[in-house]
Structure 1
Amino acid sequence: MKHTIRALLVLSISLTGLSGESLPNTTQTLNAKIELGRRLFYDADLSINGTMSCATCHEQRRAFTDGNSAHPGALGDFGKRNVPGLANVGLHKNLTWGHNHLSGLAEQALAPIRGTDPIEMGMNGYENEITKRLSQNGCYQKLFSLAFHEQKGAINLSTVTQALESFEKTLISNNSLYDQKMRAKKPLPTKEAREGKKLFFGAAKCNTCHSAPLFSDDDFHQIQSKNQTQNPQFKDYGLSDVTGDIKDKNVFRTPSLRNAALTSPYWHDGSAKTLDDAIRKHDLKINQSMNAKDIQKIIAFINTLTDNDFVTNPNFSKPKVECPY
């Protein structure tokens, strides 16, 4: 692989991890932002009624998905799309199923917090309530002060989303069985997985869109409407809902296949319940010539992309109650 995920992470943090700040102790600042973002990620005070945090939909044990076709919002509104996983999310340019104009993870975080289509955390118009709630917490006061020195520890929606971005950039998945074997220059342990890998990067052409090392080309592709199961509450046309361009109708981002064995259901609408279903839904001529055994071989390969360290890493889990500062 031309670039490893580890190398890309170092580059990402060095370029953007400090949000453009120039501080005397950048390591302390970044660590404080990460810890702050982690606590905020698990804090339901970011929702209107205190019932929903980022982690409500992004569960670590499921590779930061939630197992539902779409998750309802804090006020019971229907979810619009399947919850995407967060593995290596800081290395992606396109951050959602159907939006190509987001400046970064901080801006993306605004969608669940105060978005209205659909309503998720329900804080649109109540942004000052976030400041009020978080300002009453002594640990948050310390962390915001350390993380946002130049802003004099300001607690507001902007610093909240910047902190969330800093934490989410640490969600690196690069120690799956596949990664371990590739680094050691050794073959995958089972014949089925080896043959699946050969199909994935060869005749099946899965890597055309699911390219290594992210196992996504981080791009958008048109999906045939016959493959869609529309939520009756929404008309979801993907990228065209943002761009207004008819050419972008039914265009959605390629999801990463890292940890895919843990992230069912699949596709933007959660309409594929299993990996077998997800593969068969692809409207590609190549799949019409693939038999059931070939599909199982590809699934065996995809299973080697599961990173157990990622889903058990204590640095990504809900923090302890006591403040580290």
Structure 2
Amino acid sequence: MRQSIYAIVAICVFSAELYSQSAPSNSQAEKAKIELGRRLFYDADLSINGTMSCATCHEQRRAFSDGNSLHPGALDDPGKRNVPGLANVSLYKNLTWAHNHLSGLAEQSFAPIRGTDPIEMGMNAHEDEITKRLGQNSCYQKLFSLAFSEEKGAINLGAVSKALESFEKTLISNDSLYDQKMKSKQPLPTKDAQAGKKLFFGAAKCNSCHTAPLFSDDDFHQVQPQNQVAVNKIKDNGLSDVTGNPKDKNFFRTPSLRNAVLTAPYWHDGSAKTLTEAIQKHDVKINQALSEKEINKIIAFLQTLSDTSFITNPQYAKPSQECPY
């Protein structure tokens, strides 16, 4: 496996950013942009036939994943990869399973909205329809005007992507039981969780890729190819599909293990239905053929990474139909 210089240096940066999150700007424009982004996140009008929103695949109760191995698009095109959770997504440089050239969350939002590999929301070549639909909503008119006054409230895909980015930047998960005990410098509540933590950061070497505090090193690693083509008829070469470099074949980004208990199934193709399967699928050289008892202890530790406040925070939930402005 490879590890970039970026991944090594970023550990301290991630730690500082994750545990020092401040409230969003109090400016009216920023508040409006976040609220606008939240409403757009839950709005199926961003899909070709009005059946799919961002929240269709990213459910808050599942830490913004969806519980399926793969999710078909709005027009029933087959999904390509498992839906990742969105906890702390703004702290990542690499924003998807296998793409290393995205400038930020705004650009990343174009992939589901108008991407063609795979087709998800199906709005490619129909971007003007987004302007038309949203422009008919009086609340959106007010929110775009407040959020993008410098652009005279223009409603277009560019503004939509920026608003979605503003909302997604608020999706911070840093109050799990693990975080609470770390802050108070107290041990985890059970012996199994304590033993699992010791294995995770020690002999099992989980932390070599699932690096705290994000529990991901935000880097790409090569995994054994799965028999995915027979499942969804889409060939997936991982990072090499973006870079064109055959050396990047089957390289995928390390997923975060925060809220892992809530985000099954696992791996880029959703091929591991349980945490036990996910751990067992790792290279024997990495997990050293862990015993069943050791795996159960690691899972006990992973359970402490669940953040109840993250999945119940009303600021992340579907907004009411009543316009706040």
TM-score range, shorter chain: over 0.9
Residue 269, structure 1, aligned to residue 235, structure 2:
no
Query: 2:45·2:53 contact (CA, 8 Å) conserved in 1?
Result: yes
Partner Cα distance (2:134, 2:228) in 1: 40
Amino acid in the other structure paired with 1:178: Y
Query: 1:177·1:304 contact (CA, 8 Å) conserved in 2?
Result: yes
* Aligned partner of residue 277 in structure 1, secondary structure: helix
Cα offsets for 1:30-87 (capped at 9, x unmatched): 1110000000000000000000000000000000011001100000111000000000
Amino acid in the other structure paired with 2:75: L
Partner Cα distance (1:259, 1:284) in 2: 25
Give the drift of 1:229: 3.7
TM-score, normalised relative to structure 1 = 0.93
Query: 1:228·1:271 contact (CA, 8 Å) conserved in 2?
Result: no
Q: 1:215 to 1:170 in 2, by over 3 A?
A: same
Query: 1:5·1:214 contact (CA, 8 Å) conserved in 2?
Result: no
* Aligned partner of residue 27 in structure 2, secondary structure: helix
Give the drift of 1:5: 4.3
Give the drift of 1:117: 0.9
Partner Cα distance (2:286, 2:119) in 1: 39
Aligned to 1:105: 105
Aligned to 2:223: 223
TM-score, normalised relative to structure 2 = 0.93
Residue 183, structure 1, aligned to residue 183, structure 2:
yes
Aligned to 1:91: 91
* Aligned partner of residue 293 in structure 2, secondary structure: helix
Partner Cα distance (2:235, 2:318) in 1: 35
Aligned to 1:79: 79
* Aligned partner of residue 182 in structure 1, secondary structure: helix
Between Structure 1 and Structure 2, how many residues are aligned? 312
Amino acid in the other structure paired with 2:57: C
Query: 1:4·1:213 contact (CA, 8 Å) conserved in 2?
Result: no
Partner Cα distance (1:310, 1:282) in 2: 28
Partner Cα distance (1:28, 1:163) in 2: 14
Aligned to 1:158: 158
**Which stretches in structure 1 are left out of the alignment for 5+ residues?**
15-25
Give the drift of 1:156: 0.1
* Aligned partner of residue 252 in structure 1, secondary structure: strand
Partner Cα distance (2:179, 2:122) in 1: 39
Give the drift of 1:27: 1.6
Partner Cα distance (1:255, 1:284) in 2: 19
Query: 2:80·2:232 contact (CA, 8 Å) conserved in 1?
Result: no
Partner Cα distance (2:279, 2:194) in 1: 18
Aligned to 2:46: 46
Aligned to 1:296: 296
Aligned to 1:278: 278
Residue 140, structure 1, aligned to residue 140, structure 2:
yes
Amino acid in the other structure paired with 1:139: C
Give the drift of 1:9: 4.0
Structure 1 consecutive aligned stretches of length 4 or more whose deviation exceeds 2 Å: 1-11, 227-232, 286-289
* Aligned partner of residue 150 in structure 1, secondary structure: helix
Give the drift of 1:224: 1.9
Partner Cα distance (1:208, 1:228) in 2: 27
Partner Cα distance (2:17, 2:64) in 1: 18
Partner Cα distance (1:49, 1:34) in 2: 25
Percent identity, aligned pairs only, is 73
Alignment of 1:111-126 (within 5 A): 111-126=111-126
Cα offsets for 1:211-247 (capped at 9, x unmatched): 111000000001122x554444111000000000010
Give the drift of 1:286: 4.1
Structure 1 vs Structure 2 CA RMSD? 1.6
Partner Cα distance (2:128, 2:74) in 1: 18
Query: 1:218·1:254 contact (CA, 8 Å) conserved in 2?
Result: yes
Residue 199, structure 1, aligned to residue 178, structure 2:
no
Partner Cα distance (2:260, 2:303) in 1: 7
Partner Cα distance (1:29, 1:74) in 2: 32
Aligned to 1:35: 35
Query: 2:228·2:234 contact (CA, 8 Å) conserved in 1?
Result: no
Q: 1:219 to 1:6 in 2, by over 3 A?
A: closer
Give the drift of 1:8: 5.7
* Between 85-94 and 228-237, the greater mean CA deviation after superposition: 228-237
Partner Cα distance (1:112, 1:200) in 2: 34
Alignment of 1:245-260 (within 5 A): 245-260=245-260
Partner Cα distance (1:6, 1:27) in 2: 22
Query: 2:19·2:174 contact (CA, 8 Å) conserved in 1?
Result: no
Aligned to 2:3: none
Q: 1:171 to 1:37 in 2, by over 3 A?
A: same
Partner Cα distance (2:61, 2:250) in 1: 30
Partner Cα distance (2:295, 2:51) in 1: 40
Aligned to 1:214: 214
Partner Cα distance (1:223, 1:289) in 2: 16
Partner Cα distance (1:254, 1:228) in 2: 20
* Aligned partner of residue 72 in structure 1, secondary structure: coil
